[in-house]
Amino acid sequence: MTTSVAPTFTDATDSVAARTEMLFHEQQQSIVKHTDRIFARLMICQWIFGVGLALWISPRTWIGTQSSIHLHVWAAIFLGGIVTSAPVLMAFLQPGKVLTRHAIAVGQMLMSALLIHLTGGRIETHFHVFGSLAILAFYRDWKVLVSAATVVYVDHVVRGLFWPQSVYGVVSAPIWRSLEHAGWVIFEVTFLMISIRKSLSEMRLVAERQARLESLNEHFEQTVVERTAELTRSEAQLRQSQKMEAVGRLAGGVAHDFNNLLTVIGGYCAISLAKASGGDGFRKNFLEIQKAADRAAALTGQLLAFSRKQVLQPRVIQLNDVVRGMEKMLRRLIGEDIELSTVYVPNLGNVKADPGQLEQVIMNLCVNARDAMPRGGKLTISAANVAIDQESSFRNRTLAVGDYVMIAVSDNGMGMTEEVKSHLFEPFYTTKGVGKGTGLGLATCYGIICQSGGAIRVYSELNSGTTFKIYLPRTDAEVQTSQTEVRRLPAGKENILVVEDDPAVRQLAILILREAGYNVQESGNAFEALELIRRNPIFDLVVTDVIMPQMSGKALCDEIKAQIPETKVLLMSGYTDDALAHHGVLDEGLNFLEKPFSPSKFATKVREVLDEPADPFRAGKARGALPASFA
């Protein structure tokens, strides 16, 4: 059980409050340090000014005609220097410290006292005290003002007690007079404190706003990161799609012509094999040709599969049945060193998929598993019903929420590195040696599964093993039995029209059909075929290629179905370019034979189509609309 801990409102508030406090403190420290620097410079200037003042006002003291340097000059230099030195040093060495600003406050007030003294107690110089207090308020620390005011007050009290003339101009003065003089300082300090309080309140407000803004920005940044990741995924998906589209176009282009050639090679080879006697040396050669043609056909098929350009013929199936049907063959395939374990889950859901292609996928995965266990191991094939309750993505393919049937192929082989995993489903990527793999196996699997509306996931641990999981959408429909399993003798007496632009394929088809006993006529294109049908509407079946110049086989089929619905049509192609299918899945009601085909497969398919029951509704409806030209 997993529990998610989402950030609460209280957490967010605490975070903003903590950040506010931090920003406020930072700002306060910045102001204090800045003010420290201001005072350090100001106090040095004051000291120099004091020395200059003493030299100007009272450079020398006189006794008759003799003179000496005035005490004020020495006081300005040394006393002023001592007063200035400590706060300035602290401002440079320890800026921002509490003691530093208090030392500056004390030093500044003492400097005021010295300057007042040097100027002979002039009332104007007393403004230095008030000016200094205002500058000390830059610290925005009321305690600093208290320190400064204390120095002023103590100075007046002490001088009032011991040197009253220097403060009050009289020989003796009551102690309360010190309050009279300090009163104005306290008056100013009071208002400065009020101002400091207000200023601090504003600073805190600004800090709080900034903290809130940062919090908001952080949220925005997170959203931007998520959106960027999403965009990157979409771009990768687009690139992958474009790549597959390009490979698909190439594969399709090759497949069309190549499959025609393979049909001819394979077909004539099969016919020759049937005619060759058992001891004939040519038979062995024909068999090799047949094998090569089969391998070439398989390769073309794989090219079409991974580029998702093949035509799937899906039907509702049970994966347990598919695996059970393959078990014997798989045991032979993986060898004795590897133990095959199959797990059949009761009540496994049905899926709609092309059983042949699915077998191809399972076989590819088993071959890879075998190769991953060169010293033997265990291969497990299991299936299960799975409910996906959260959308997930893998290799730009999203597995939507819903019910699935999952088939897993696991091995305890050498596993894969992250690098290998990242290229796993790319066409022509292989870790096997030269000549041992085409690099199309997993790409084919991926293409077939994607084309079937499913998804494939891989989990691998180096030196521990690999598991491939295939998810196919579950369907509630009933299982359909394959009609192709009904085997009949490929023979008959019906009238068949063969429409094929490739003369070699056309001649092969005619040869096979005539040998099977059918009455066959031929046509090189769709227009000629339509004309033939119009002049002589006797055909029970029209066998036509799909990709033809001027008019496609599908268009011809539609025309025939519209005019003479009882005439059956068998379409054949090595590559249909979606002419017959939507996203590679064959349209309902069409008979299709994939090139290259063997003579027996062709004859069987022809028989199968001819034996299909006619659609009375369609036939009647169409017949009622039969044009005069066909009547």
Partner 1 sequence: MPKFGLSSSKGDAKEAFAADLARRLLLLSDAIIARSKLPIRTLISFCWLLTVGGGFIVLLNYQESAGGTGFTPMTWPSASALRLARGQDTLIMFAHPKCPCSQASLEELNRALAKTAGKVSVRVLFFKPAQGSNDWTNTTLYRTAASISGVTALEDIDGQEAGRFGANTSGYVVLYKPSGDLLFKGGITAGRGHAGDNAGESALVALILGQDSAIRQTAVYGCSLFNKRCTTDTTTPP
- Provide the minimum distance between the beta carbon of 156 and partner 1 in the complex, in angstroms, as a whole number: 13
Q: What angle do CA 23, 27, 30 make, to 5 degrees?
A: 140
- Provide the minimum distance between the beta carbon of 119 and partner 1 in the complex, in angstroms, as a whole number: 9
CB-wise, 6 or 63, nearer to partner 1?
Answer: 63
- Provide the minimum distance between the beta carbon of 39 and partner 1 in the complex, in angstroms, as a whole number: 16
Single out the residue of 4, 66, 390, 463 in contact with partner 1 (rule: CB under 8 A): 66
Closest-CA residue to 96 (of 28, 45, 148): 28
Cα–Cα dist 474/385, whole Å:
8
The DSSP code for 6 is: P
User: How far apart, in Å, are the Cα atoms of 261 and each of 302, 309, 501, 543, 573?
Assistant: 17, 19, 13, 18, 12
Identify which range of 103-111, 233-241, 299-307, 348-356 contacts partner 1 by CB under 8 A. 103-111
Single out the residue of 19, 33, 34, 117 in contact with partner 1 (rule: CB under 8 A): 117
- Provide the minimum distance between the beta carbon of 5 and partner 1 in the complex, in angstroms, as a whole number: 47
Site string for partner 1, 133-172 (x = CB under 8 A): --------------------------x--xx-xx-xxxx-
List CB contacts of 427: < 8 A, sequence separation 6 or more: 247, 306, 307, 439, 440, 443
- Provide the minimum distance between the beta carbon of 122 and partner 1 in the complex, in angstroms, as a whole number: 6
The answer to the question of residue 78 lying near partner 1 (CB under 8 A) is: yes
The answer to the question of residue 93 lying near partner 1 (CB under 8 A) is: no
The answer to the question of residue 52 lying near partner 1 (CB under 8 A) is: no
Identify which range of 77-85, 306-314, 327-335, 362-370 contacts partner 1 by CB under 8 A. 77-85
The answer to the question of residue 253 lying near partner 1 (CB under 8 A) is: no
CB-wise, 126 or 212, nearer to partner 1?
Answer: 126
CB-wise, 93 or 387, nearer to partner 1?
Answer: 93
The answer to the question of residue 63 lying near partner 1 (CB under 8 A) is: yes
CB-wise, 166 or 222, nearer to partner 1?
Answer: 166
- Provide the minimum distance between the beta carbon of 66 and partner 1 in the complex, in angstroms, as a whole number: 6
- Provide the minimum distance between the beta carbon of 14 and partner 1 in the complex, in angstroms, as a whole number: 36
CB 470 within 8 A of CB 449: yes
Cα–Cα dist 519/493, whole Å:
6
The answer to the question of residue 57 lying near partner 1 (CB under 8 A) is: yes
455 sits in which H/E element:
strand 455-461
CB 230 within 8 A of CB 555: no
Single out the residue of 20, 28, 35, 58 in contact with partner 1 (rule: CB under 8 A): 58
| Sign for the pseudo-dihedral over CA of 149, 151, 154, 159 | negative
Q: Which two tokens stand for residue 565?
A: 């619905």
The answer to the question of residue 122 lying near partner 1 (CB under 8 A) is: yes
- Provide the minimum distance between the beta carbon of 65 and partner 1 in the complex, in angstroms, as a whole number: 5
Single out the residue of 22, 71, 329, 400 in contact with partner 1 (rule: CB under 8 A): 71
User: How far apart, in Å, are the Cα atoms of 153 and each of 16, 105, 182, 460?
Assistant: 43, 13, 6, 82
- Provide the minimum distance between the beta carbon of 52 and partner 1 in the complex, in angstroms, as a whole number: 14
CB-wise, 67 or 242, nearer to partner 1?
Answer: 67
CB-wise, 72 or 140, nearer to partner 1?
Answer: 72
Cα–Cα dist 308/311, whole Å:
8
Q: Which is it for strands 377-388 and 338-343: parallel, antiparallel or unpaired? A: parallel
The answer to the question of residue 123 lying near partner 1 (CB under 8 A) is: yes
The answer to the question of residue 124 lying near partner 1 (CB under 8 A) is: no
DSSP-assigned letters across all residues of 563-581? H-TTSEEEEEES--TTSSE
User: How far apart, in Å, are the Cα atoms of 302 and each of 258, 309, 360?
Assistant: 13, 10, 10
Cα–Cα dist 267/244, whole Å:
31
CB-wise, 103 or 526, nearer to partner 1?
Answer: 103
Identify which range of 110-118, 231-239, 569-577, 598-606 contacts partner 1 by CB under 8 A. 110-118
Binding-site size for partner 1 (CB under 8 A) equals: 40
CB-wise, 111 or 472, nearer to partner 1?
Answer: 111
Single out the residue of 92, 98, 121, 223 in contact with partner 1 (rule: CB under 8 A): 121
Single out the residue of 13, 67, 393, 550 in contact with partner 1 (rule: CB under 8 A): 67
- Provide the minimum distance between the beta carbon of 152 and partner 1 in the complex, in angstroms, as a whole number: 13
Cα–Cα dist 346/479, whole Å:
15
CB-wise, 109 or 533, nearer to partner 1?
Answer: 109
Cα–Cα dist 183/303, whole Å:
99
Q: Which two tokens stand for residue 631?
A: 């009547």
Q: Which residue has the tokens 């094998």?
A: 291
State the SS3 of 13-73.
HHHHHHHHHHHHHHHHHHHHHHHHHHHHHHHHHHHHHHHHHHHHHCCEEEECCEEEECHHH
| Sign for the pseudo-dihedral over CA of 547, 548, 550, 556 | negative
- Provide the minimum distance between the beta carbon of 91 and partner 1 in the complex, in angstroms, as a whole number: 14
CB 242 within 8 A of CB 575: no
Task: Compute φ and ψ for 293, nearest 5 degrees.
Answer: -65, -40
Interface residues for partner 1 in 556-585 (CB under 8 A)? Answer: none
Contact residues: partner 1, CB under 8 A? 57-67, 70-72, 75, 78-79, 82-83, 86, 99, 103, 106, 110, 113-114, 117, 120-123, 159, 162-163, 165-166, 168-171
